[in-house]
Amino acid sequence: MHYLIVLLLALPILTQPISAFQNDDLQKAKELINEKNFEAAKTILEKIIDDDDKNHEAYFTLGKTWMGLKDYEEATESFEEAVDLLDENADYHFWLGQAIAMDARESNYISQALMASDILEEFERAVELDPTHIPGRIGVINFYLAAPGIMGGDIEKAKLNAKELIKFDEMKGRTALARIYLKQEKMDSVEIQINMLEKNFENDKSLGNFFNSLGYYYLGENNIDKAIEAFEKQVKINPESANSYDSLGDGYKAAKRYDDAIAQYKKALEINPDFSASADNLEELQEEMGEK
């Protein structure tokens, strides 16, 4: 009995360092992911899982690692393991939906049709578990907005979810609603949402992407003045982004304001010398201007 008591008392001391080591390793793997050192993170996480195949957080973090490595099939498998071990985690379901969606992008149309219901199911499960889960709600909206009707797309359901999103994140909800109205070409409704966004979130950088989409919509409609106005707002909101100046350059190019377009493409390349779209447009315009 004496030796048994000693052994039982010793067990917490012996097992505690293993758990602590795993937590330290898991944190190290997360830091490596932030540094985009995905291979090193994967090695650590696979070792954790070898030691404890019930560690749902390790599977989840490994899934993120595979996402960084752009291996979406492996990411899906890792997130599925995390979900199987802890179904009640909204983040796990959201990331699983993301992985399936990314895998679907690289698949043929038939495979995409088969995967569509799984994508929606995971996003909706995230929202079911946490109605205020913003990425999950946006995932649902984007699915209903982008998917063809035969795969479950439904613009009215997208709209309902956007209105729900407004209740706990007005900016993201109104931005989503504006995108939906834009797809429906209900421009009066788009303008109402834009006015409210500009009033309440004047310089929020998240609006830059929306104004980019709006500008190219107007370019497609040959409404060049409106396109330039949208791109100018994008530059005002995100002046440190090469893409902002490139888009404004496209607007000026469409308006045949070639000197202004060249200036914008040069600004884009000052920010990012590897921005190929601006480099190509700049070369093309400079050649044209040289010929005149």
Question: Which residues have CB under 8 Å from 240's CB, separation 6+?
Answer: 271
Is residue 218 classed exposed, middle or buried when 0-12, 13-18 and 19+ CB atoms within 10 A define those classes?
buried
Mean pLDDT of all residues in 120-137: 97
Question: Which residues have CB under 8 Å from 285's CB, separation 6+?
Answer: 253, 258, 261, 262, 265
* Reported confidence tier of residue 18, pLDDT bands at 50, 70, 90: very low
Both tokens of 284, joined, read 């093309």
Both tokens of 171, joined, read 């900016």
pLDDT computed for residue 21 by the predictor: 58
| Structural domain boundaries in the chain | 223-292
Q: Tell me the C-alpha distance between 149 and 207, whole Å.
A: 28
- Count Cβ atoms below 10 Å from residue 19 Cβ, excluding itself: 10
Q: Tell me the C-alpha distance between 215 and 201, whole Å.
A: 19
Q: Which of 205, 216, 207, 228 is nearest to 183 (CA)?
A: 216
Mean pLDDT of all residues in 206-210: 88
pLDDT computed for residue 287 by the predictor: 84
Q: Tell me the C-alpha distance between 216 and 34, whole Å.
A: 33
Is residue 137 classed exposed, middle or buried when 0-12, 13-18 and 19+ CB atoms within 10 A define those classes?
buried
Amino acid at 193: Q
Both tokens of 237, joined, read 């909101």
Give residue-wise pLDDT tens across range 252-271.
999 999 999 999 999 999 99
Q: Which of 126, 189, 118, 203 is nearest to 155 (CA)?
A: 189
CA dihedral 61, 120, 196, 187 (to 10 degrees): 140
Q: Tell me the C-alpha distance between 10 and 4, whole Å.
A: 10
How much is the mean pLDDT over the chain?
90
Write down the architecture of domain 223-292 according to CATH. Answer: Alpha Horseshoe (1.25)
Give residue-wise pLDDT tens across range 48-99.
999 999 999 999 999 999 999 999 999 999 999 999 999 999 999 999 999 9
pLDDT over threshold 80, residue 9: no
CA dihedral 59, 64, 67, 68 (to 10 degrees): -130
